[in-house]
Amino acid sequence: MDAKTLGMVFANHSDWVYSNGAKGECANLRGADLSHADLEGINLSFAYLEGVSLKGANLSFANLENANLRGANLEGATLEGANLQDANLQDVNLSFANLQDVNLQEAILIVATLEGANLQDANLQEANLYGANLEKTILKGVNLKGANLIGTIIEKKKEENHASIKAENNIRLEFEALAKKHGMKIESLTFSLI
């Protein structure tokens, strides 16, 4: 997509957002390649961004509230201070992304990859992180109040043998110790063995 067409899509989306749908058109950038684009402060709330490549893009302070980013690639992207509240980030690649101070409240991050990402001081309150990979992620000051962390990978460990499965309470204690180590705020979590 050339810069002129992209500019028109963004302008139409802005009109659509600010007129509550009376003018313009909701952005549909499904599958677009916006790798390394500078989109700082852009408003793409409610936009269709399924499968888009935003690898290495600058989305600092962008508004992506309620956007559909399912299957998108945001590896190494900068989203510092961005608003992704209620966004669909299912199966998204956010490896090594800068998500410091990002708002991911009630976001859907099912099986998302956040390996090596910086989530310092991020708000993940009520977010759904079912099966997400948070290995080697910076979690200092993260708010996970009410978040779904079932099946979430925080730290991979070598299994000694399959017969030594730990009880649910031991898993809870291990997670709480790991959370404390990373400075995470945790309340109202549900743990279950699967």
Provide the CATH number for the domain formed by 30-156+167-194 in this structure: 2.160.20.80
Sorted by where each begins, the domain ranges of the chain are 30-156+167-194
pLDDT, position 154: 83
Q: How many residues are given for the chain?
A: 194
Q: Helices marked H in the chain — which ranges?
A: 3-18, 168-181
| % of residues, the chain, pLDDT over 70 | 80
Cα–Cα distances in angstroms (integers) from residue 67 to residues 71, 87, 100, 194, in the given order = 12, 5, 19, 31
pLDDT, position 142: 94
Out of 38-47, 60-69, 161-170, least confident range = 161-170
CB 1 within 8 A of CB 21: no
Q: How far is residue 181's CA from residue 175's CA, in Å, rounded to a whole number?
A: 10
Output 152 or 56, whichever has higher pLDDT.
56
Q: How far is residue 176's CA from residue 154's CA, in Å, rounded to a whole number?
A: 11
pLDDT, position 183: 64
pLDDT, position 178: 67
pLDDT, position 2: 86
| Number of other CB atoms surrounding residue 166 within 10 Å | 11
